[in-house]
Every structure is written in structure tokens, then in C-alpha cells.
Amino acid sequence: MQFHVNGFHPGDPRFADPQDAVVPPPIKRPLPEQVDVLIVGCGPAGLNLAAQLTKFAGIKVAIIDQKDDRLLVGQADGIACRTMEMFQAYGFADQIMQEAYQVNEAAFWKPAADQPSHIARSGKVQDVADDLSEMPHLIINQARVHDMFLDVMRQNPGKLEPHYQRQLLDLEVDPDGGDYPVTAKVERLVNFSQYSQVIETVKARYVVGCDGARSSVRKAIGKELVGDALNQAWGVMDVLLNTDFPDIRLKSLIHSNNEGNMLIIPREGGYMVRVYIELDKLKDGQRVARDKMTSDVLVAAANRIIQPYSMDVKEVAWWSVYEIGQRITTAFDDSTEDRAARVFLAGDACHTHSPKAGQGLNTSVMDTWNLGWKLAHVLTGRADESILKTYSDERREYGQALIDFDREFSRMFSAKPKSAENPDGVDPAEFQRYFQLFGEYTAGVSIQYRPSSVVGDGKHQQLATGLTVGKRFHSAPVVRLADAKPVQLGHCHLADGAYRLYAFAGKAEPMSEHCGVKALCEFLANDDNSPLKKYTPTGADPDSVIDVRAVFQPHHQDVETSSLHPVLAPQKGKYGLRDHEKVYCVDNRPVSSGGGKDIYDMRGINKEQGCLVIVRPDQYVADVLPLDDYDGLARFFAGVLTEQA
């Protein structure tokens, strides 16, 4: 999809006239006096959390931001594979893929051996390894991601719009404050004949600070960012240009001999490019002199680095300068030994790092992807409040790992190339190897949460060696039984707060008397210890809390839909309509037709015994169990869900 050929314009590129893409700001209205969750900050972390919580009509949410309207341009642009898997759960991954630039290869450039003042290509590598994810690594304006989340918020049962032009002034937590123990004072500036101060007070059950590195929420609960800076200044700009640089439409990492280093990221639309440019090293305590910096300075620096090539910049759509620093907060919530958390931090409010590895937005949304379903379960009575402790435990460990990775990545990227004159520099070939080694990390699929109430001990991991307990569910192709449609199994995961329970059948004939899936369905339908019976609220759809699905090994044409157990064809909605999309078969189609990918082989699933795979609402594998381990299944859900009347 090509656009921006006649200049950069924000908004939906499908509009021929850019003015038609302008979205009117929401109607200004007062904040509610009481909410279940107050979200501070309309960045990706805050909007992701709001999008999750508004899935539940009974949860009252408000989200505030100091800006006067939605984001239009600039800031983050890299969307990792794991983040795209999350977007699929919301239903807008396809639109993002259509608009975005897809990163397929990365090119590496270093000083030319025969003329060190010029750069020369040292190699190209595949950006995303085969079968790392069914989703690609993409580049798109962060504002478009915000637009997608805002649409989800409007369309969800919660029907939420942000409250803009709001600044948090104060936050107090009263342990004895009853159902709404957090009090937030918010300033609203209203322009009549002159600006006048209006103070609004909001009582909340929980507050989540997604308000950036200078977080007011973090300061209000007495936390701080700790870490260090590398005393390196970088400029970044989005430009429309002509150039003779041959890899301008590839992600390109450039080390020059004496002019600094640069990262080129092609942008969506086919014409725009983002350029990260190394500026002079800073002294201890020094800040970038933004008042002396211009886009012309950045363009000139880029042209010095890229010699013998040149860039003829036609338009600078956005530019900024920043200093690299890696910091993490002392705690991700305000819990104490005597009191459960009422205030949480997410995104840049609890970790900051350089943007070049593309982890800022991606890590931020994964924070609230982890927190959102846990808050929803507590607020809807599905789970006890103790589950909220796992948010800080899981995300702080990953946040620290991100800081450590980013520190080394930034050091290697910013260092001068190794040479006879600079023996302590970084070998560009070593940097290329590091880039490939940490492909899983930068794709966002390397996270593995430790055993806890929401992660099992992996005792039966050998039954599905490629679906690692504590890591995200690694999707694979299957064929849906009812309509013979080839699909990705992981795309069953919706952003609806439900657990997924996958029953991978063994060798027995599907739904025969020896079939383990049939026996499991009998347990789930009839036994008093069945998690379906104990944790599904009266009147709710049978898959609203635990969504049971099955995968069989025979060809889909050899399995009759009429033989399926009612647990695998639940009746839903006000008319009790039967759901026909719960059962799948191995993709036994010919390779020539795009088939031949056996999920059992791809994910190391035991073909004789089969297995059960429990997947959390945030798509992480909670446990792998034998098909007939009903006690283990009941025990897991007893530890994470609250029995319903």
C-alpha cells in the first residue's frame, strides 16, 4: 500500500483527501466522580489497557491525558511480531499489515576497506527467523496504532472516549477508604475569555499510571526511575527523500569511520524513511541543546555518515533529539506487606531505554496486556485480588532484562568500528551476529514467566515441547472442521479475558469410546469438579471464562461434525445458537495447496497420548497436562478463579 507521495499527512491513508481523515475530538465532558479504574496517559500502554477493560460492560473506566487531542504523528514506529499477535486478538492486525512497512531483511554497512571515509555493505540477514511467529515485524506510525485502540474502545461494550486536557495534580490512597480507596485530583483548563483552573476529583478502585518517563503517578506513590545514562545524543527524523543509497527500502544499520552511526528504518507508504543519527557524545550531566538543534543539522549529519551516497530531503515530517538512558522503577505498584496494590505503573512510567531496538511501544503494551485481564477478573469477581501481585512479579523481571539487553545493544550500535586506530571498537561482524542472536528477544517472543499461581511448573512439558509453559502460545496452521478453512490456531485468542483450553487428541478415533477428548468433554460437562461448571457464571455463555477447543489428527473430511460432544459445540447468545468453530484438524492438505504443516510435528505434541494446553487470557501457556489429568486441571483453575454461584 503506497501513500505520502505528495507529502506526509496523518490519519487513515485510505482517504484521497487528507482533510477527510481528520477525526473530530471527543465532546468535552466532566470526569465521572467514581470509576473502577482510572488510567492516566493515552499512550499505547494506557489505550491498550482501556481497550481490554471496555470489553466488560460492567467495568467503569476513565482515561485522561494532558494532550488536547489524539496523537497524530511521530514517536514509536516498530511493531514486533509478538505485538502483532496481540493486535490479532483485537481484530485489527490485518489493517495494520496492509498499511505498514514489513521488515524482511536488515542490511549492515561499515567503513570500506579501500576507502574508510566511505561506507560499504558488509552483509544482509533475514530480519525474522522462519516460524518465529505467523506475524511479521512491521513499521507504522504509532498514531495509527492509537487510532485502532480508540476504535476498539468505542466499539466495545464499555464505549469509552478519553478525557483530554487533564493533568493529574495529586493521588492519595486510603487503606480504609472502602470500595474506592484512591482519590485523584485532576486539573482541567477550560478556555473561556481566559484560562481558568477547574479541579475535578475522582474516586477509584484502582489507578494505573501510563503517563511516561516523568510520570506523576509514579511520583505520587513515592517511586522513582533508577539506572544510568550512556551520555549519547541521537537525532531522529521522518523524511520524504530521494537518494542513491541502494538499501533505502531495507532496515539498514550503518557504522561510519569518523562521522558517527546511523539507523535507517523504511516507513509505511513506500516513500517515507525514519533515520536515527548519532550526534556528539555528551559530557556527564549534559543535556541535548534542543534550542540549537534543527532538522537541517540532522540532514547534514546524515549526509556525512552515508558517504559516498547522499540524501536529497524533500520534506521533514517529524524530528526530535533525545539522550539514551536505561532506567527502571523501584516497584511496579504501591503494594506493601500489609496492603494489596491499588496503584500500578506501566510503560515508560516504569522503564525507559533507547528506541533503536524497537522495544518501547512493544514492551509498554505487553505491560498492560499482562495487567488488563487480571484487573478485569478481579473487578468482575472471576478472581481473587491476590492475582494482581503476579503483574509486578512478571513484568519487573522482564523490564530488567530489557534494560540489560538495551544497554549492550546501544553500546555496540554507538561504538566506533574496530580498526587498527581504534582497537577497542566494535567489530561490525560481531554486531551483526548479536543482532541475529537476539532475534527472538527483539521480536518479543522470548519472554518466559516463572511458575506462579498463573503459571504451572511444566512437569508434563514433554507432551508439547514446542508450547513452552510460561511462554506465549506459539501458533501453527490447522484446518477448521466445520467449514474446512485453513486458519492459525493462535487466532482463537481474543481480547475477551477468557482462558483457552486446547485438547490435542491422541491416536484414538475422534469421539470413539477410547477418545481422550470425548472423556475430557464428559468430565467438563458432568463432573462436580469441572472448571466449566464451577467458574462459569449463571446465564453467561459457556465459553466466556474457559473456552474449550479440540484438535484432531485425521484429515478433516474423515471427522463427522455430528459426532462432536456438546462441550465442543456450545450453545450461545439469547437464541442459544450453536458455535461451530471450536474443533480443528491437522492441516493434511497437499503441500501444493499450501498444507502439509502438521501442528503436532511443529510444536512437539505427543501423537500417541495427546495433551491439554491451558492458555491464559494474555496468550501465555499456563500449563501442559495429560488429557486425563482432571485433578491437575481442576487444581490449576481452583488457584486462579473464584467459584461462581
Catalytic residues: 77, 267, 276, 355
Cβ count near 199 (within 10 Å)? 10
Phi and psi angles of residue 275, each rounded to the nearest 5 degrees, phi first: -125, 125
d(CA 527, CA 418): 68
Between the alpha carbon of residue 100 and those of residues 2, 119, 150, 612, the distances in Å are: 10, 29, 18, 36
DSSP-assigned letters across all residues of 541-572: -TTSSEEEEEEESS-GGGS-GGG--GGGS-EE
Q: Which residues of 614-642 are buried (b: 16+ CB within 10 A; e: fewer)?
A: bbbbbbbbbbbbbbbbbebbbebbeebbe
DSSP-assigned letters across all residues of 243-300: E--TTTTSEEEEE-SSS-EEEEEE-TBTTEEEEEEEEEEPPTT----GGG--HHHHHH
Q: Which three cell numbers stand for residue 291?
A: 534550542
User: Helix or strand or coil: residue 120?
Assistant: strand
- Measured at the alpha carbon of residue 572, what is the angle toward residues 566 and 578, in degrees to the nearest 5? 50
Q: Could you tell me which of 445, 628, 601 has the C-alpha nearest to residue 519?
A: 628
Cis bond upstream, residue 13 (ω within 30): no
Burial tier of 173 (Cβ tally within 10 Å: 0-12, 13-18, 19+):
middle
Q: Which three cell numbers stand for residue 449?
A: 514467566
Q: Could you tell me which of 197, 143, 159, 128 has the C-alpha nearest to residue 55?
A: 159
Beta carbons of 54 and 61 less than 8 angstroms apart: yes
Q: Which three cell numbers stand for residue 509?
A: 478415533
d(CA 81, CA 104): 12
Beta carbons of 66 and 43 less than 8 angstroms apart: no
Phi and psi angles of residue 369, each rounded to the nearest 5 degrees, phi first: -65, -35
Burial tier of 611 (Cβ tally within 10 Å: 0-12, 13-18, 19+):
buried
Contacts of 606 (CB under 8 A, 6+ apart): 462, 463, 464, 506, 600
Q: Could you tell me which of 624, 643, 375, 635 has the C-alpha nearest to residue 500?
A: 624
Contacts of 188 (CB under 8 A, 6+ apart): 31, 165, 166, 167, 198, 199, 200
